[in-house]
Amino acid sequence: MGAAMRVSRKVAGSLVAVLLVAGCTTKSEPDPPPGTSSGARPTANVPPAGTPAPVPMPAQQASFAPAGAFKAGDASADILAADLNDDGALDLATPNYNSNDVAVLIADGNGGYAPPLILPAGRTPNGLAAGDFNSDGHEDLVAANLGSDDLSLYLGDGTGKFGEPVTFPAGDGPARAVARDLNGDSFLDIVTPNLNGDDVTVMLGDGKGAFAAPAHHPAGDGALRLSVADLDGDGKLDLAVSNYNSGDVAVLKGDGGGRFGPPAVFPAGDTSAGAALADFNSDGALDVVSALYEVDQIAVLFGDGKGGFGGPVVLGSGAHPSDTGVGDFNGDGFADIVAPNFDSDDVSLLHGDGKGGFAAPVSIKVGAGAPAIVVTDFNGDGKADFATADSLADTVSVLLNTTGG
């Protein structure tokens, strides 16, 4: 059965379905999720599942300048932000599902981006990660090719240019690529959720631009999104995987050596399409937020600090939310949620109150058909901005935070 048939029961075979395999990609070694602390964790607070009423809007709401649209590729399925030419500014890159390539957009220093540099990829690339995989001090790129079951590695030269892709076999339908050091050897590794294989694939890097043979670990039906963090406080990195077809989040605990245990599964809701992590209720434990694509909802699962999660707390969104991101967008010190909505061409922003409550979603206009979002500070002003891949417009939308003037 093809990827599009597996992804969506209602829109099988459509562009919407296949683009859902994209993920929200951040830099290879991300900052701690919002609201976390390096200190000892207090007793976690796990609220009951349900559909709570929205909390009041905060005194200061987040605001953004109108979206800046920049040409990307044909049906961009993911988006990342990284400094790809060593000039200190964040550039953008997208894998493009229809044209089987990767678009690199170099920041021009004036708030815009140069026309995209196009890199050939495998068949239907859907995920993208950045990191220094050959230890030369420059950012490289890795594309996850859903249709050809492999990864394309592009070694960067530090000027925004990249070598010819080197191909490595991966899993069955890799839907995203995440780069982290999973075994503590100081070299970046790659992990992918595999939509058709219902598992995750770990490929340990050698620091010279090559990877060990892939190791596969069961995850769930339609593994789609993935985040990496220490979920149980043992100092070892674990995996949180959202499974689209089974509507749940699986936790695979790591042993610190790049190996992962069997999945512990926690219900999220119909068509779970996100696994962003943050501490939403200020208890010191990481929580997970997922987009429920088919039912136009957002689900938050509160963590217990031991690698487990409570039942879903369900929130509103726009039409067909396809990804989730987190950040403190209004500067109150609490984590908020952003979710791009594929069919309403906007992003839903839900302000968090730091107690596990969220205000009603605010709609922020972006380009058509956004399947993925990245949260970062593009202009260095200390405020959380975001950008979306706009698959139906073949653009990216960049939104700069203007909160507080």
pLDDT tens per residue, range 218-263: 999 999 999 999 999 999 999 999 999 999 999 999 999 999 999 9
Q: Does pLDDT of 365 surpass 70?
A: yes
| Cα end-to-end distance, the chain, whole Å | 52
Q: Strands 362-365 and 287-292: what pairing?
A: unpaired
Dihedral sign of CA atoms 136, 137, 139, 145 in order: positive
Q: State how far the Cα of 287 lies from the Cα of 281, in Å rounded to an integer.
A: 8
The pLDDT of residue 366: 98
Q: What percent of the chain has pLDDT over 70?
A: 89
Q: Which of 190, 185, 72 is nearest to 141 (CA)?
A: 190
**Contact partners, residue 239, CB within 8 Å, separation at least 6:** 191, 200, 219, 226, 227, 228, 250, 251, 252, 254, 260
The pLDDT of residue 334: 98
Q: State how far the Cα of 25 lies from the Cα of 80, in Å rounded to an integer.
A: 5
Q: What is the Cα gyration radius of the chain?
A: 19
What does the domain layout of the chain look like in residue ranges?
A: 68-399
Q: 371 pLDDT band (50/70/90 cuts)? A: very high
Q: Does pLDDT of 285 surpass 60?
A: yes
The pLDDT of residue 405: 77
Q: State how far the Cα of 276 lies from the Cα of 363, in Å rounded to an integer.
A: 20
Q: State how far the Cα of 215 lies from the Cα of 200, in Å rounded to an integer.
A: 8
| Residues 64 and 57 sit within 8 Å (Cβ to Cβ) | no
The CATH number of 68-399, from 2.120.10.30, 2.130.10.10, 3.40.50.300, 3.40.50.2020, is 2.130.10.10
pLDDT tens per residue, range 172-182: 999 999 999 99
Q: Does pLDDT of 32 surpass 70?
A: no
The pLDDT of residue 44: 84
Going from the C-alpha of 182 to that of each of 127, 168, 214, 237, 405, the distances in angstroms are: 19, 18, 13, 7, 41
Q: Strands 297-301 and 264-267: what pairing?
A: unpaired
pLDDT tens per residue, range 2-16: 333 233 322 222 333
* Mean of the per-residue pLDDT values of the chain: 91
pLDDT tens per residue, range 83-124: 999 999 999 999 999 999 999 999 998 889 999 999 999 999
Q: How many CB atoms lie within 10 A of CB 158?
A: 14
pLDDT tens per residue, range 122-169: 999 999 999 999 999 999 999 999 999 999 999 999 999 999 999 999
Q: What is the arithmetic mean of pLDDT over 374-398?
A: 97
